[in-house]
Amino acid sequence: MKSRTIGNTSLQSGPLGLGCNRMLDPANAEMVAVANTAIDIGICQFDGADSYGAGRCEKFFAKVLKARRNEATIVTKFGMVRQPEGGFAVDGSPAYARKACEASLARLDMDCIDLYYLHRIDPKVPVEESIGAMAELVKAGKVKQIGISNAPAEVIRRAHKTHPLAAVQMEYSLLERSVEKEVLPACKELGIAFVAYGPLTYSFLSGAVQKLADLAPDDLFRRRQSRFAEESISHNLKLLAALDEVRAESGGTRAQLALAWCLHRPWDVLPIPGSTKLKHLKDNAAAADIHLTPAQVAKLDAAFAPEAVKGSAAGVAAPPR
């Protein structure tokens, strides 16, 4: 795979990164194989968070990636604090940033985090204070680069003015394009990489979800989203015909074409699809070899125009946990 850097930094990524929210078990042989194979084929950005598996994702990195530390770009996040009654609160305070970083370094069993994100913007704390604390972590040598996740363009600009951001991470896919209006142009202007989570809309764009019943009853993450309501699924399935038309011309799978579309945007977009299976990892990696013509990109742009999509990540399709 052709090597890419993350924004205006020396951190390596490859054309795609690896979303690791489900990489939690170092005793799972296939998960370990996925991690090692990813590095072997050039996918070296491993995206985790302290909230993924209540720290188990970071412990997975410690166990599986430490031997290949110089080949991997280790990414983690802070700011989402699990509550005793369930759910999460947001804490972007400087004191918590320092505390969370030390805890992550201990779980990672590493002395420096390559890329450290503020996972959510804390409405109680000016972003300048959160980023200022993260800048101190950079100065102390505990973090190489910083970023923020799920922030509007105005907050991104304020954060970047406080300390240069390497990356902004938000959801982006054919079905979720709201960031194109302000966030992506701001990132391009400022030289910040845009890391796209959910680039396959959680398996929908691959065609794996045909009806609400395809989701497990306890899959409340997707069931809470209005785009996975029955009427939204039936409507949006029709949009996949455009992927099939492009597939007839260029080959590849629906998922590969959806990822290739991300890589053909006029911005610096690094998709990070999640994979815990070797087959899915290799299939996703093949998207980097697909070349879409301007006409094909335009066809997908038109077919998946925001006004053509039904539902969103918002809305409740199942009672909260």
Residues forming the active site: 52
Q: Which residue has the tokens 């070899």?
A: 289
Q: How far apart are CA 78 and CA 117, in angstroms?
A: 6
- Note whether 173 and 199 are within 8 A (CB): yes
Report the distance separating Cα 134 and Cα 113, nearest Å. Answer: 12
Return the structure tokens found at 277: 């299976």
Are β-strands 269-271 and 18-19 bridged in parallel, bridged antiparallel, or unpaired? Answer: unpaired
User: Cα–chain-centroid distance for residue 125?
Assistant: 24
Residue 151 sits at the vertex; the CA angle it makes with 162 and 218, to the nearest 5 degrees, is 140
Angle between helices 56-65 and 94-108 (to 10 degrees): 40
Listing DSSP states for 201-216 in one string gives TTTTTTT---SGGGS-
CA angle 63, 3, 50 (to 5 degrees): 35
Residue 285 gets the label, from left (phi > 0), alpha (psi -120 to 50) or beta, of alpha
Cα separation, 60 vs 78, whole angstroms: 17
